[in-house]
Protein backbone atom coordinates (compact mmCIF):
# COMPACT_ATOMS: atom_id res chain seq x y z
CA UNK A 1 0.00 0.00 0.00
CA UNK A 2 1.33 3.45 -0.84
CA UNK A 3 1.87 6.01 1.90
CA UNK A 4 -0.93 8.48 2.61
CA UNK A 5 -0.43 11.72 0.66
CA UNK A 6 -3.44 13.77 1.66
CA UNK A 7 -7.04 14.04 0.51
CA UNK A 8 -6.62 15.55 -2.95
CA UNK A 9 -4.47 12.59 -4.02
CA UNK A 10 -6.31 9.87 -2.13
CA UNK A 11 -9.81 10.82 -3.26
CA UNK A 12 -9.08 12.64 -6.53
CA UNK A 13 -11.70 10.62 -8.41
CA UNK A 14 -14.40 11.72 -5.99
CA UNK A 15 -13.39 15.37 -5.65
CA UNK A 16 -13.42 18.26 -8.13
CA UNK A 17 -9.70 17.76 -8.77
CA UNK A 18 -8.56 18.53 -12.33
CA UNK A 19 -5.13 18.42 -13.93
CA UNK A 20 -4.85 22.14 -13.10
CA UNK A 21 -5.61 21.74 -9.40
CA UNK A 22 -2.44 22.39 -7.36
CA UNK A 23 -1.23 19.38 -5.35
CA UNK A 24 -1.84 21.12 -2.05
CA UNK A 25 -1.43 18.94 1.04
CA UNK A 26 -0.42 18.90 4.68
CA UNK A 27 -1.26 15.17 4.76
CA UNK A 28 -4.76 15.84 6.07
CA UNK A 29 -7.35 13.09 6.44
CA UNK A 30 -6.86 9.40 7.29
CA UNK A 31 -7.81 10.12 10.91
CA UNK A 32 -8.29 7.28 13.41
CA UNK A 33 -11.67 5.70 14.15
CA UNK A 34 -11.28 4.60 17.74
CA UNK A 35 -13.58 2.20 19.64
CA UNK A 36 -14.73 3.41 23.07
CA UNK A 37 -14.67 0.08 24.83
CA UNK A 38 -15.60 1.14 28.34
CA UNK A 39 -18.37 3.55 27.42
CA UNK A 40 -19.76 1.08 24.87
CA UNK A 41 -20.10 -1.52 27.59
CA UNK A 42 -21.55 0.91 30.10
CA UNK A 43 -24.07 2.48 27.70
CA UNK A 44 -24.98 -0.69 25.78
CA UNK A 45 -24.20 0.63 22.29
CA UNK A 46 -21.17 0.07 20.10
CA UNK A 47 -19.39 3.46 19.99
CA UNK A 48 -16.50 4.62 17.81
CA UNK A 49 -15.09 8.13 17.69
CA UNK A 50 -13.68 9.76 14.56
CA UNK A 51 -10.81 11.79 15.98
CA UNK A 52 -10.57 14.73 13.61
CA UNK A 53 -8.26 16.51 16.04
CA UNK A 54 -5.40 14.50 14.54
CA UNK A 55 -5.61 16.53 11.32
CA UNK A 56 -2.63 18.88 10.62
CA UNK A 57 -4.16 21.96 12.26
CA UNK A 58 -6.08 19.92 14.82
CA UNK A 59 -9.61 19.95 13.39
CA UNK A 60 -11.84 18.61 10.61
CA UNK A 61 -11.59 21.97 8.85
CA UNK A 62 -8.41 20.86 7.09
CA UNK A 63 -10.43 18.49 4.90
CA UNK A 64 -12.55 21.25 3.45
CA UNK A 65 -9.85 23.88 3.47
CA UNK A 66 -7.35 21.92 1.38
CA UNK A 67 -10.01 21.61 -1.33
CA UNK A 68 -11.28 25.20 -1.12
CA UNK A 69 -7.80 26.74 -1.11
CA UNK A 70 -6.55 24.53 -3.95
CA UNK A 71 -9.56 25.59 -6.07
CA UNK A 72 -9.08 29.27 -5.17
CA UNK A 73 -5.47 29.00 -6.35
CA UNK A 74 -6.49 27.09 -9.48
CA UNK A 75 -9.02 29.79 -10.34
CA UNK A 76 -6.36 32.49 -10.03
CA UNK A 77 -7.47 34.02 -6.73
CA UNK A 78 -4.79 35.94 -4.85
CA UNK A 79 -6.53 36.13 -1.49
CA UNK A 80 -8.93 34.23 0.80
CA UNK A 81 -11.17 35.46 3.61
CA UNK A 82 -13.26 33.80 6.32
CA UNK A 83 -15.18 34.43 9.51
CA UNK A 84 -14.45 31.93 12.21
CA UNK A 85 -14.99 30.75 15.76
CA UNK A 86 -11.34 29.66 15.54
CA UNK A 87 -10.81 26.38 13.72
CA UNK A 88 -11.68 27.60 10.25
CA UNK A 89 -9.26 30.51 10.72
CA UNK A 90 -6.47 28.14 11.81
CA UNK A 91 -6.99 25.92 8.76
CA UNK A 92 -7.40 28.85 6.36
CA UNK A 93 -4.21 30.42 7.69
CA UNK A 94 -2.20 27.21 7.31
CA UNK A 95 -3.41 26.26 3.83
CA UNK A 96 -3.54 29.86 2.62
CA UNK A 97 0.09 30.33 3.59
CA UNK A 98 1.11 27.05 2.01
CA UNK A 99 -0.59 28.03 -1.23
CA UNK A 100 0.98 31.51 -1.17
CA UNK A 101 -2.31 33.39 -0.84
CA UNK A 102 -3.06 36.46 1.22
CA UNK A 103 -5.23 35.22 4.11
CA UNK A 104 -7.64 37.42 6.07
CA UNK A 105 -9.53 36.00 9.04
CA UNK A 106 -12.22 37.63 11.17
CA UNK A 107 -12.92 36.22 14.64
CA UNK A 108 -15.22 37.28 17.51
CA UNK A 109 -13.26 39.35 20.03
CA UNK A 110 -12.34 37.42 23.18
CA UNK A 111 -14.43 34.39 22.25
CA UNK A 112 -12.00 32.01 20.63
CA UNK A 113 -9.88 29.36 22.30
CA UNK A 114 -6.24 30.29 22.93
CA UNK A 115 -4.69 27.58 20.76
CA UNK A 116 -6.72 28.64 17.75
CA UNK A 117 -5.67 32.27 18.07
CA UNK A 118 -2.05 31.15 18.41
CA UNK A 119 -2.37 29.16 15.20
CA UNK A 120 -3.84 31.99 13.12
CA UNK A 121 -1.09 34.39 14.15
CA UNK A 122 1.71 31.82 13.82
CA UNK A 123 0.68 30.90 10.28
CA UNK A 124 0.88 34.57 9.39
CA UNK A 125 -2.74 35.39 8.61
CA UNK A 126 -4.05 38.94 8.86
CA UNK A 127 -6.23 38.54 11.94
CA UNK A 128 -9.12 40.88 12.77
CA UNK A 129 -11.18 40.63 15.95
CA UNK A 130 -14.66 41.94 15.41
CA UNK A 131 -16.53 43.55 18.31
CA UNK A 132 -19.42 41.24 17.58
CA UNK A 133 -20.11 37.52 17.26
CA UNK A 134 -19.47 34.93 14.55
CA UNK A 135 -22.78 35.62 12.79
CA UNK A 136 -21.89 39.31 12.47
CA UNK A 137 -18.42 38.42 11.16
CA UNK A 138 -19.84 36.02 8.55
CA UNK A 139 -22.27 38.66 7.29
CA UNK A 140 -19.41 41.12 6.77
CA UNK A 141 -17.01 38.71 5.04
CA UNK A 142 -19.78 37.39 2.76
CA UNK A 143 -20.56 40.91 1.67
CA UNK A 144 -16.89 41.80 1.10
CA UNK A 145 -16.28 38.64 -0.96
CA UNK A 146 -19.17 39.62 -3.25
CA UNK A 147 -17.64 43.04 -3.91
CA UNK A 148 -13.90 42.30 -3.96
CA UNK A 149 -11.75 39.74 -5.82
CA UNK A 150 -11.26 37.61 -2.72
CA UNK A 151 -12.42 34.03 -2.20
CA UNK A 152 -14.71 33.24 0.72
CA UNK A 153 -13.60 29.98 2.36
CA UNK A 154 -16.38 29.52 4.92
CA UNK A 155 -18.47 26.37 4.51
CA UNK A 156 -20.90 28.20 2.21
CA UNK A 157 -18.10 27.64 -0.32
CA UNK A 158 -19.19 24.32 -1.92
CA UNK A 159 -15.58 23.08 -2.21
CA UNK A 160 -15.43 23.00 1.60
CA UNK A 161 -18.31 20.51 1.68
CA UNK A 162 -16.63 18.40 -1.02
CA UNK A 163 -13.45 18.08 1.02
CA UNK A 164 -15.27 17.41 4.28
CA UNK A 165 -17.41 14.61 2.85
CA UNK A 166 -14.29 12.43 2.73
CA UNK A 167 -14.57 11.80 6.47
CA UNK A 168 -17.74 9.78 5.81
CA UNK A 169 -15.87 7.73 3.20
CA UNK A 170 -13.20 6.95 5.77
CA UNK A 171 -15.78 5.89 8.36
CA UNK A 172 -17.33 3.43 5.87
CA UNK A 173 -13.91 2.15 4.83
CA UNK A 174 -12.90 1.54 8.46
CA UNK A 175 -16.15 -0.18 9.51
CA UNK A 176 -16.90 -1.88 6.20
CA UNK A 177 -20.34 -0.24 6.31
CA UNK A 178 -22.04 2.88 7.57
CA UNK A 179 -22.90 2.96 11.30
CA UNK A 180 -26.56 2.89 12.41
CA UNK A 181 -26.22 6.48 13.59
CA UNK A 182 -23.75 9.34 13.27
CA UNK A 183 -23.60 11.88 16.11
CA UNK A 184 -22.08 15.23 15.19
CA UNK A 185 -21.85 18.73 16.70
CA UNK A 186 -23.72 21.43 14.77
CA UNK A 187 -22.61 25.05 14.47
CA UNK A 188 -23.06 26.43 10.98
CA UNK A 189 -24.29 22.96 9.89
CA UNK A 190 -21.72 22.59 7.10
CA UNK A 191 -20.20 19.41 8.47
CA UNK A 192 -23.46 17.49 8.94
CA UNK A 193 -24.28 18.41 5.33
CA UNK A 194 -20.86 17.19 4.17
CA UNK A 195 -21.01 13.86 6.03
CA UNK A 196 -24.45 13.10 4.62
CA UNK A 197 -23.22 13.79 1.09
CA UNK A 198 -20.26 11.50 1.73
CA UNK A 199 -22.40 8.67 3.11
CA UNK A 200 -24.80 8.87 0.19
CA UNK A 201 -22.01 8.85 -2.39
CA UNK A 202 -20.18 5.99 -0.73
CA UNK A 203 -23.40 4.00 -0.49
CA UNK A 204 -24.05 4.49 -4.20
CA UNK A 205 -20.61 3.05 -4.98
CA UNK A 206 -20.37 0.32 -2.35
CA UNK A 207 -23.88 -0.31 -0.89
CA UNK A 208 -22.64 0.43 2.62
CA UNK A 209 -26.01 1.66 3.92
CA UNK A 210 -26.95 5.02 5.41
CA UNK A 211 -26.90 6.20 9.04
CA UNK A 212 -29.48 8.24 10.92
CA UNK A 213 -27.86 11.66 11.15
CA UNK A 214 -28.04 13.10 14.68
CA UNK A 215 -26.78 16.65 15.04
CA UNK A 216 -26.32 18.50 18.32
CA UNK A 217 -26.34 22.22 18.94
CA UNK A 218 -25.35 23.83 22.23
CA UNK A 219 -28.48 24.84 24.19
CA UNK A 220 -27.45 28.51 24.28
CA UNK A 221 -27.01 28.56 20.50
CA UNK A 222 -29.74 26.17 19.41
CA UNK A 223 -31.28 28.11 16.53
CA UNK A 224 -32.32 25.06 14.50
CA UNK A 225 -33.86 23.26 17.48
CA UNK A 226 -35.80 26.36 18.51
CA UNK A 227 -36.69 27.28 14.95
CA UNK A 228 -35.47 30.86 15.31
CA UNK A 229 -32.26 32.85 15.11
CA UNK A 230 -30.49 33.19 18.48
CA UNK A 231 -29.40 36.81 18.62
CA UNK A 232 -26.82 36.50 21.39
CA UNK A 233 -25.63 32.89 21.35
CA UNK A 234 -23.70 31.76 24.42
CA UNK A 235 -21.98 28.48 25.26
CA UNK A 236 -18.76 27.16 26.73
CA UNK A 237 -18.30 25.37 23.39
CA UNK A 238 -17.12 28.53 21.62
CA UNK A 239 -16.55 26.67 18.32
CA UNK A 240 -20.33 26.26 17.94
CA UNK A 241 -21.37 29.60 19.41
CA UNK A 242 -23.43 30.39 16.32
CA UNK A 243 -26.95 31.82 16.35
CA UNK A 244 -27.81 31.84 12.65
CA UNK A 245 -26.38 28.73 10.95
CA UNK A 246 -25.50 29.33 7.30
CA UNK A 247 -26.52 25.80 6.22
CA UNK A 248 -29.70 25.68 8.34
CA UNK A 249 -31.96 24.53 5.46
CA UNK A 250 -29.49 21.88 4.37
CA UNK A 251 -29.30 20.48 7.90
CA UNK A 252 -33.09 20.16 8.06
CA UNK A 253 -33.04 18.31 4.74
CA UNK A 254 -30.33 15.94 6.05
CA UNK A 255 -32.42 15.02 9.08
CA UNK A 256 -35.49 14.44 6.91
CA UNK A 257 -33.67 12.30 4.37
CA UNK A 258 -31.78 10.27 6.97
CA UNK A 259 -34.60 9.88 9.50
CA UNK A 260 -32.40 11.75 11.94
CA UNK A 261 -32.82 14.88 14.05
CA UNK A 262 -31.15 17.98 15.45
CA UNK A 263 -31.27 18.18 19.23
CA UNK A 264 -29.45 20.31 21.80
CA UNK A 265 -27.19 19.67 24.79
CA UNK A 266 -26.52 21.90 27.78
CA UNK A 267 -23.07 23.22 28.69
CA UNK A 268 -23.12 20.91 31.74
CA UNK A 269 -23.79 17.90 29.53
CA UNK A 270 -20.98 18.97 27.19
CA UNK A 271 -18.51 19.37 30.06
CA UNK A 272 -19.51 16.02 31.54
CA UNK A 273 -18.91 14.25 28.22
CA UNK A 274 -15.62 16.19 27.75
CA UNK A 275 -14.27 14.97 31.07
CA UNK A 276 -15.65 11.45 30.76
CA UNK A 277 -14.08 10.94 27.35
CA UNK A 278 -10.64 11.99 28.53
CA UNK A 279 -10.78 10.17 31.88
CA UNK A 280 -12.28 6.88 30.80
CA UNK A 281 -10.99 6.50 27.26
CA UNK A 282 -7.81 8.59 27.01
CA UNK A 283 -9.24 10.76 24.25
CA UNK A 284 -9.00 14.55 24.59
CA UNK A 285 -11.31 16.52 22.32
CA UNK A 286 -12.30 20.16 22.50
CA UNK A 287 -15.61 21.05 24.24
CA UNK A 288 -17.66 21.62 21.06
CA UNK A 289 -16.63 18.21 19.76
CA UNK A 290 -18.03 16.59 22.87
CA UNK A 291 -21.53 17.79 21.99
CA UNK A 292 -21.62 14.63 19.85
CA UNK A 293 -20.95 12.31 22.79
CA UNK A 294 -23.18 14.32 25.13
CA UNK A 295 -25.91 14.10 22.50
CA UNK A 296 -25.49 10.36 22.17
CA UNK A 297 -25.89 9.95 25.94
CA UNK A 298 -29.06 12.04 25.85
CA UNK A 299 -30.51 9.94 23.02
CA UNK A 300 -29.70 6.69 24.84
CA UNK A 301 -31.22 7.95 28.10
CA UNK A 302 -34.43 8.95 26.33
CA UNK A 303 -34.62 5.58 24.52
CA UNK A 304 -34.20 7.12 21.07
CA UNK A 305 -31.17 4.95 20.27
CA UNK A 306 -31.64 1.22 20.55
CA UNK A 307 -29.29 -0.87 22.65
CA UNK A 308 -26.74 -2.67 20.51
CA UNK A 309 -26.73 0.01 17.77
CA UNK A 310 -23.45 0.98 16.17
CA UNK A 311 -22.75 4.68 16.53
CA UNK A 312 -19.94 6.95 15.37
CA UNK A 313 -19.42 10.22 17.26
CA UNK A 314 -17.43 12.82 15.36
CA UNK A 315 -14.82 14.53 17.55
CA UNK A 316 -14.27 17.59 15.43
CA UNK A 317 -11.31 19.24 17.17
CA UNK A 318 -8.33 18.50 19.41
CA UNK A 319 -8.57 19.12 23.16
CA UNK A 320 -5.28 21.03 23.10
CA UNK A 321 -6.98 23.80 21.12
CA UNK A 322 -8.60 25.04 24.32
CA UNK A 323 -6.27 24.54 27.30
CA UNK A 324 -8.04 27.20 29.39
CA UNK A 325 -11.34 25.33 29.52
CA UNK A 326 -9.55 22.12 30.49
CA UNK A 327 -7.71 23.80 33.35
CA UNK A 328 -10.82 25.68 34.51
CA UNK A 329 -12.93 22.54 34.62
CA UNK A 330 -10.70 20.18 36.57
CA UNK A 331 -11.07 20.20 40.31
CA UNK A 332 -7.91 18.21 41.04
CA UNK A 333 -4.79 20.29 40.34
CA UNK A 334 -1.19 19.01 40.26
CA UNK A 335 0.32 18.48 43.75
CA UNK A 336 3.33 20.73 44.36
CA UNK A 337 6.29 18.85 45.84
CA UNK A 338 9.76 19.85 47.09
CA UNK A 339 12.76 19.11 44.85
CA UNK A 340 13.57 15.97 46.85
CA UNK A 341 13.08 12.30 45.96
CA UNK A 342 12.38 11.10 49.50
CA UNK A 343 9.76 13.72 50.12
CA UNK A 344 8.20 12.81 46.78
CA UNK A 345 8.09 9.12 47.76
CA UNK A 346 6.24 10.10 50.93
CA UNK A 347 3.61 11.78 48.74
CA UNK A 348 2.98 8.84 46.43
CA UNK A 349 3.09 6.05 49.01
CA UNK A 350 -0.43 4.93 49.69
CA UNK A 351 -1.44 7.00 46.70
CA UNK A 352 -0.17 5.92 43.30
CA UNK A 353 2.02 3.05 44.59
CA UNK A 354 -0.25 0.83 46.64
Beta strands in the chain (DSSP E): 33-35, 46-51, 79-83, 102-108, 126-130, 151-152, 181-185, 212-218, 261-265, 310-315
Q: How far is the CB of 39 from ligand F0G (least distance, A)?
A: 20
Beta strands in 219-260 (DSSP E): none
Selection from 137, 136, 135, 142 nearest residue 157 by Cα? 142
Q: How far is the CB of 224 from ligand F0G (least distance, A)?
A: 10
Q: Report the distance separating Cα 49 and Cα 316, nearest Å.
A: 10
The answer to whether 240 and 247 have CB atoms below 8 angstroms apart is: no
Nearer to ligand F0G, 22 or 32 (CB): 32
Q: How far is the CB of 82 from ligand F0G (least distance, A)?
A: 7
The answer to whether 50 and 171 have CB atoms below 8 angstroms apart is: yes
Beta bridge partners of 121: none
Nearer to ligand F0G, 73 or 241 (CB): 241
Nearer to ligand F0G, 292 or 299 (CB): 292
Q: How far is the CB of 56 from ligand F0G (least distance, A)?
A: 15
Nearer to ligand F0G, 180 or 286 (CB): 286
Nearer to ligand F0G, 155 or 212 (CB): 155
Write b or e for each residue in 293-316: b if 16 or more Cβ atoms lie within 10 A of its Cβ, otherwise e: bbbbbbbbeeeebeeebbbbbbbb
Q: How far is the CB of 148 from ligand F0G (least distance, A)?
A: 20
Query: In the complex, which residues of this chain contact ligand F0G (CB under 6 A)?
Result: 59, 61, 84-88, 155, 185-191, 239-240, 286, 288-289, 316-317
Q: How far is the CB of 88 from ligand F0G (least distance, A)?
A: 3
Nearer to ligand F0G, 74 or 240 (CB): 240
Amino acid sequence: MSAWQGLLKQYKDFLPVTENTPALSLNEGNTPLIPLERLSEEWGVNIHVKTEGTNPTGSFKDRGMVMAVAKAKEEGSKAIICASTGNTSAAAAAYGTRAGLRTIVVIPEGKIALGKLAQAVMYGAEVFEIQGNFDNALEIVRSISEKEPITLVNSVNPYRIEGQKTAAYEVCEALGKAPDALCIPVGNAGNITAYWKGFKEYHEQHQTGLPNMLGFEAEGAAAIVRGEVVKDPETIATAIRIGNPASWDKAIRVTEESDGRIDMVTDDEIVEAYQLLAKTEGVFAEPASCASLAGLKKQIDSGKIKKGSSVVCVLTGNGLKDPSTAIDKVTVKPTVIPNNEEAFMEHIKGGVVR
